[in-house]
């Protein structure tokens, strides 16, 4: 909620009225942050999580699937947005989570889905993206990856971007701290086979519950390892919210000869420092897949996520998965750093920048084409995205 307050603070203008629809607890949090300054007179709509979940028999997975697909008992959500439309009549709607009911409103309003940008990871530099009319399965990346990979920067500049990205990834402190031990462990276990990294996320997250129907962690891992052909082996990393998972690692390693649990001293590092040394990454929808894809690795991900354009959804067909060339990777990086993401400083500290971005989207004949248009791109954009 502090992010919302900061966006409003940085973009206050006499002709712009803001509204916030959220749980009562987060509206109270918004008020708490007003002690540090901010706009008080915003339209407010308190949303009851209890009322929303009651309509799904308090089934979190059913609720998450409805947010992703628009199927199921979404009448309570449709009624909620009808009330907001009648009371506030917004021209622009910004959502911080997947919501198919809001997506439908994009036919007559500008609907933006926001989240932290795909890159950088493991950095103090932050940015945010605002996808027009789609967040996961309907994102520009999912629908138009071929256009993103053909972003109009010349080959020399694209190769320079890819080279710089490899340098940045190689210089990560977590890679420096872990790589010697990891490479030694990897070579002692792979026995000439190709290696897939399984990047796990909490199975009760909205993304995993919505895209993968709340598949259990154990089932997801076993299905993924079982599907691999004989010339592949695998190991797993876990989101920091998931704990150590050492018992699960041991259980799967005992059941599948092509699976190896990471040593305890390497589990703290996540996925990113190992991406350069594996051949593929398997996930439901973790953004850990982006660095791997940009390093030319094969990706397996759920087809309802923003990774769909960069991946296949069946680990049994991993050898047939596409991978980015260095030129394509450089162009994807250039796309990310141009209009797709907005650096933290511009979004929250540069007065009016976000509003100018929204107004450009409102005026554009095609909002997706506006993001893909490279005329104003400069080589400094990627350096700024990485805080350089």
In the chain, what are the domain boundaries? Answer: 2-148+333-385, 155-329
Segment (H or E) for 298: strand 298-300
pLDDT per position as a tens digit, 263-297: 999 998 999 999 999 999 999 999 999 999 999 99
**pLDDT of 221:** 95
| Mean pLDDT of the chain, nearest integer | 92
**pLDDT of 203:** 84
**pLDDT of 24:** 93
CATH architecture of the domain with residue range 155-329: 3-Layer(aba) Sandwich (3.40)
**pLDDT of 243 over the 80 cut:** no
**pLDDT of 241:** 82
Q: What is the pTM of this model?
A: 0.93
- Say whether the peptide bond before residue 127 is cis (omega within 30 degrees of 0): no
**pLDDT of 39:** 85
For residue 365, give the DSSP letter: S
Q: What is the mean pLDDT of residues 239-244?
A: 81
**pLDDT of 382 over the 90 cut:** no
What DSSP string describes 117-173? Answer: -S---SSS--EEEEEES-SSTTSHHHH-HHHHTT-S--HHHHHHHHHHHHHHHHT-H
Tell me the helix, strand and coil percentages in the chain, rounded to 5.
55, 15, 35
Cα 209 vs. chain centroid, distance in angstroms? Answer: 15
**pLDDT of 1 over the 80 cut:** no
> pLDDT-derived band of residue 70, with 50, 70 and 90 as boundaries?
confident
Residue 235 neighbours by CB under 8 Å, 6+ apart: 189, 195, 197, 198, 259, 260, 261, 262
């Amino acid at each position: 909620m502090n992010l919302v307050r900061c966006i409003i603070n940085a973009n206050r203008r006499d002709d712009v009225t803001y509204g916030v629809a959220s749980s009562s607890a987060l509206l109270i949090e918004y008020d708490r942050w007003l002690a540090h300054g901010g706009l008080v007179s915003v339209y407010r709509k308190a949303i009851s999580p209890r009322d929303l979940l009651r309509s799904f028999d308090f089934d979190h997975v059913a609720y998450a699937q409805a947010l992703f697909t628009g199927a199921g008992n979404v009448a309570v959500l449709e009624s909620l947005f009808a009330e907001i439309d009648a009371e506030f009549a917004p021209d622009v709607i910004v959502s911080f989570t997947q919501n198919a009911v809001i997506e439908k409103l994009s036919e007559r309003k500008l609907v933006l889905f926001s989240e932290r940008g795909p890159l950088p990871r493991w950095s103090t530099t932050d940015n945010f993206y605002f996808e027009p009319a789609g967040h996961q399965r309907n994102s520009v990346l999912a629908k138009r990856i071929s256009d993103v990979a053909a972003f109009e920067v010349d080959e020399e500049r694209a190769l320079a971007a890819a080279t710089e990205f490899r340098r940045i990834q190689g210089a990560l402190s977590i890679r420096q701290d872990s790589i010697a031990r990891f490479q030694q462990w990897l070579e002692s276990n792979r026995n000439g086979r190709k290696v897939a990294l399984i990047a796990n996320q909490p199975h009760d997250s909205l993304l995993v519950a919505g895209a993968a129907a709340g598949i259990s962690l154990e089932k997801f891992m076993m299905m993924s390892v079982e599907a691999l052909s004989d010339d592949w082996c695998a190991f797993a990393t876990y989101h920091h919210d998931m704990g150590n998972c050492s018992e699960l690692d041991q259980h799967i390693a005992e059941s599948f000869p092509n699976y190896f649990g990471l040593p305890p001293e390497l589990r703290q590092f996540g996925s990113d420092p190992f991406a350069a040394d594996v051949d593929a990454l398997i996930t439901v929808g973790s953004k850990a897949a982006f660095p791997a894809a940009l390093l030319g690795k094969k990706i397996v991900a759920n087809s309802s996520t923003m990774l769909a354009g960069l991946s296949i959804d069946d680990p049994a067909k991993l050898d047939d998965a596409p991978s980015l060339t260095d030129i394509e990777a450089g162009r994807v990086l250039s796309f990310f750093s141009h209009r797709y993401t907005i650096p933290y400083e511009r979004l929250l500290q540069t007065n009016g920048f976000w509003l100018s971005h929204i107004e450009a989207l409102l005026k554009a004949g095609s909002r997706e084409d506006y993001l893909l248009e490279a005329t104003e791109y400069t080589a400094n954009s990627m350096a700024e995205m990485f805080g350089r």
